[in-house]
Homo-oligomer: A and B are copies of this chain.
């Protein structure tokens, strides 16, 4: 174990130093396609190499090919945080190397997953008693939800969503051979209710916090309609769901307590390292009906349902450990404080854009995402985005809203300070003048 202790100390020091210097690194990787591949040997070595060679090549070969999601100046897609307790919990999870295929292969893994999902549901104001488990990503969660919906409504093969629904719904529908019916959004990019027909629908996917603009679909009205039609309501709150830890934001989540299933990604806005996607459902029997291969009479002697019976993978790793560490080391108050700070920073940035001549805000801001653009053509805005990202000083992404190319600044990294947001704004204005 002395090698492990020494190598571990070196890896830990690398990690600490990385987190200290990540603000100074170019946020978006500036390498050309194939550059990292070309810098690596064509074959694995024959003889063992020391771990320090891995650390060396991490610096010398891989580092230029990393886009720094941990940078406080990462504002693209949805900004995330691998927080310190989450990182260290991953070290522990890998050390324990639990493989949760059946309850008995790791009672602690299974029960901690259930307990932390219960904790998180309570933190977010969700109803008591929901079944909860962790998926790798919201994409897989969509497969889980729609497979259960399909099995629960034989003969109905339509999934209704909005044009702004994340592409993972389309991907899941294709996998499950369901017909996707995307209805238009209104002027605020929220799903329009007129013309929705659920007669042949097995499921509706509503989003709280869409990817393009963090828009909010009319969940209460959709819940009403699903109840009448017998359709499964899945609420995708992958990004925004974490914000429900703040009671003052709960009105934005009205109706989600009536969903058949809900997805929230702690690896997005709850400071948990990738991957950790929370999935809840009030219809666990329907999940098992879709996924379980264990007939009741073959249950193991301990008579415990294994989490593998609720979704695709058989084996699961000990993801709950990092969520547990994050929820404890932040606490409810720490989670609220960090999310409120992100909302403050987003509002601040939104104000700067509104006040600046030649710039406009392009969508209502509900959470920590600001959609905006400068006066000019789509091409000019696209070119601006490329120039900003090429500086490496900040990284933003884009969306199309109402047919227009808009810039997106998403705040979600726990290390982002007001100065980082100001840097992004300075770079944007500088490059816009260029």
6 nearest CB pairs, A to B: A65-B108, A82-B97, A90-B94, A36-B111, A15-B95, A48-B331
User: 1/0 per position for A16-33, CB-CB distance to B under 8 A?
Assistant: 101110000000110111
**Which of the candidate stretches A169-177, A181-189, A198-206, A372-380 sits at the interface with the other chain?**
A169-177
B18 and A313 form a contact (CB under 8 A)? no
B95 and A82 form a contact (CB under 8 A)? yes
A84 and B33 form a contact (CB under 8 A)? no
Inter-chain CA distance A139–B306, complex, in Å, is: 15
A85 and B303 form a contact (CB under 8 A)? no
Residue from B7, B35, B50, B84 in contact with A7 in the complex, judged by beta carbons closer than 8 Å? B84
A36 and B105 form a contact (CB under 8 A)? no
**Which of the candidate stretches A38-46, A214-222, A280-288 sits at the interface with the other chain?**
A38-46
A43-B119, A48-B334 are contacts. A19–B112 as well, Cβ < 8 Å?
no
Inter-chain CA distance A37–B334, complex, in Å, is: 24
Shortest distance between the CB of A416 and any CB in chain B (Å)? 14
B5 and A171 form a contact (CB under 8 A)? no
A37-B114, A274-B315, A329-B51 are contacts. A5–B1 as well, Cβ < 8 Å?
no
Residue from B63, B97, B112, B322 in contact with A36 in the complex, judged by beta carbons closer than 8 Å? B112
Q: Which of A71-90 contact B (CB under 8 A)?
A: 76-77, 80-82, 84-90
The contact size tier of chain A is 35 or more
Shortest distance between the CB of A67 and any CB in chain B (Å)? 5
Task: Tell me if A47 is interfacial: C-beta within 8 Å of chain B.
Answer: yes
A123 and B54 form a contact (CB under 8 A)? no
Task: Tell me if A249 is interfacial: C-beta within 8 Å of chain B.
Answer: no
Task: Tell me if A137 is interfacial: C-beta within 8 Å of chain B.
Answer: yes
B303 and A96 form a contact (CB under 8 A)? no
Residue from B51, B91, B304, B315 in contact with A85 in the complex, judged by beta carbons closer than 8 Å? B51
B106 and A46 form a contact (CB under 8 A)? no
A93-B90, A97-B274 are contacts. A331–B49 as well, Cβ < 8 Å?
yes
Inter-chain CA distance A303–B32, complex, in Å, is: 11
Inter-chain CA distance A58–B88, complex, in Å, is: 13
B40 and A115 form a contact (CB under 8 A)? yes
Task: Tell me if A426 is interfacial: C-beta within 8 Å of chain B.
Answer: no
> 10 other contacts beyond A35-B107, A54-B328, A143-B175, with CB at 8 A cut-off?
A9-B9, A18-B96, A45-B332, A48-B331, A51-B84, A65-B107, A69-B106, A82-B97, A143-B312, A167-B314
Residue from B123, B137, B143 in contact with A315 in the complex, judged by beta carbons closer than 8 Å? B137
Q: Which of A227-254 contact B (CB under 8 A)?
A: none
A16 and B8 form a contact (CB under 8 A)? yes
User: 1/0 per position for A283-319, CB-CB distance to B under 8 A?
Assistant: 0000000110100000001111000000011111110
Residue from B12, B31, B101 in contact with A9 in the complex, judged by beta carbons closer than 8 Å? B12
B11 and A44 form a contact (CB under 8 A)? no
Shortest distance between the CB of A63 and any CB in chain B (Å)? 8
Find chain B residues with CB under 8 A from A44 CB. 119-120, 122-123, 327-328, 331-332
Find chain B residues with CB under 8 A from A34 CB. 111
Find chain B residues with CB under 8 A from A322 CB. 94
Minimal Cβ-Cβ distance residue in B for A300: B33
Find chain B residues with CB under 8 A from A48 CB. 328-331, 333-334
Residue from B63, B77, B273 in contact with A97 in the complex, judged by beta carbons closer than 8 Å? B273
A105 and B67 form a contact (CB under 8 A)? yes
Inter-chain CA distance A88–B168, complex, in Å, is: 32
Shortest distance between the CB of A37 and any CB in chain B (Å)? 4
A139 and B315 form a contact (CB under 8 A)? yes
User: 1/0 per position for A249-281, CB-CB distance to B under 8 A?
Assistant: 000000000000000000100000111000000
Inter-chain CA distance A171–B274, complex, in Å, is: 26
A49-B329, A137-B315 are contacts. A12–B5 as well, Cβ < 8 Å?
yes
Inter-chain CA distance A50–B34, complex, in Å, is: 43
Minimal Cβ-Cβ distance residue in B for A277: B315
A67 and B98 form a contact (CB under 8 A)? yes
Find chain B residues with CB under 8 A from A65 CB. 106-108, 111-112
